[in-house]
Amino acid sequence: MKTLVVDHPLVAHKLTALRDVRTDSPTFRRLADELVTLLAYEATRDVRVTDVTVETPLVTARGVRLTRPAPLVVPILRAGLGMLDGMTRILPTAEVGFLGMIRDESTLKAQTYATRLPEDLSGRQCYVLDPMLATGGTLAAAVRFLFDRGAQDVTAICLLAAPEGIAHMDETFRGTGKPIRVVTAALDERLNEQGYIVPGLGDAGDRLYGVV
């Protein structure tokens, strides 16, 4: 598995504001939206394109367009929904599938409560959106869903990742030969006893949508 930590002053600036405990929910939503667009720029570097020609007002020129079928974008509910608009803004032809997953706060195991994905993902490029990669249980399960349906490669865009989560993904998919990438704004220090990323930004879902 490949991990890319996007090193860019605008990314660092927006992430710092996201971490700030004083950042209110409307501002948090806007920052998450802006940040995913910056991360998506790097995450889509390998998006498949097809050579085409285009008529400019002057001549015929060579160019590219996104290869069809377009990539599949999969936000992991709830918190991943806060990244969907920012992603589809730069990839407007993408299709969107949904996975509803929640981590049991006592066992830290992920449970799936909703699945709405195309049955056949053969040959598809997939982008998973989830702000937090903590123990990695949620992302590993999501990536497995996609490969089980035939996805060609999977790129996860996470606002923050913990070393424990990256290690879990590495171990889970080592030797499978599956092309997986994680693109993140920062690799934080560690998880605390409750499985929260430190220094982190708290509970991303709660900060986006409130405590339920």
Ligand X SMILES: O=P(O)(O)OC[C@H]1O[C@H](OP(=O)(O)OP(=O)(O)O)[C@H](O)[C@@H]1O
Q: Which residues are catalytic?
A: 103, 107, 203, 206
Q: Which of residues 158-197 bind ligand URA (CB under 6 A)?
A: 195-197
Spatial contact of 138 and 76, defined as CB atoms under 8 Å apart: yes
Spatial contact of 124 and 66, defined as CB atoms under 8 Å apart: no
Number of residues in contact with ligand X under rule CB under 6 A? 23
Tell the smallest beta-carbon distance from residue 79 to Mg ion (Å): 6
Contacts of 40 (CB under 8 A, 6+ apart): 86, 87, 90, 91, 127, 157
Q: Which of 18, 91, 126, 133 binds ligand X (CB under 6 A)?
A: 133
- Using DSSP bridges, classify how beta strands 110-116 and 98-103 pair: parallel, antiparallel or unpaired: antiparallel
Helix and strand numbers, DSSP H then E, in the chain: 6, 13
| Closer by beta carbon to ligand URA, 8 or else 190 | 190
Q: Report if residue 41 touches ligand URA, rule: CB under 6 A.
A: no
Residue 100 structure tokens: 């509803």
Q: Report if residue 97 touches ligand URA, rule: CB under 6 A.
A: no
90's contact among ligand URA, Mg ion, ligand X, none, with CB below 5 to 8 A by partner kind, is none
Q: Report if residue 132 touches ligand URA, rule: CB under 6 A.
A: yes
Q: Report if residue 95 touches ligand URA, rule: CB under 6 A.
A: no
Q: Report if residue 203 touches Mg ion, rule: CB under 5 A.
A: yes
18's contact among Mg ion, ligand X, ligand URA, none, with CB below 5 to 8 A by partner kind, is none
Give the long-range contacts of residues 140-146, CB within 8 A, separation 24 or more: 140/168, 140/169, 140/172, 140/173, 141/101, 141/110, 141/112, 142/74, 142/76, 142/99, 142/101, 143/169, 143/173, 143/178, 143/180, 144/172, 145/99, 145/112, 145/115, 145/117, 146/72, 146/74, 146/117, 146/121
Tell the smallest beta-carbon distance from residue 101 to ligand X (Å): 6
Tell the smallest beta-carbon distance from residue 146 to ligand X (Å): 15
Sites of contact with ligand URA (CB under 6 A): 79, 132, 134, 195-197, 200, 203-205
Sites of contact with ligand X (CB under 6 A): 76, 78-79, 101-103, 108, 110, 130-139, 165, 195, 203-205
Per the annotation, where are the binding residues for 5-phospho-alpha-D-ribose 1-diphosphate?
Answer: 78, 103, 130-138, 203
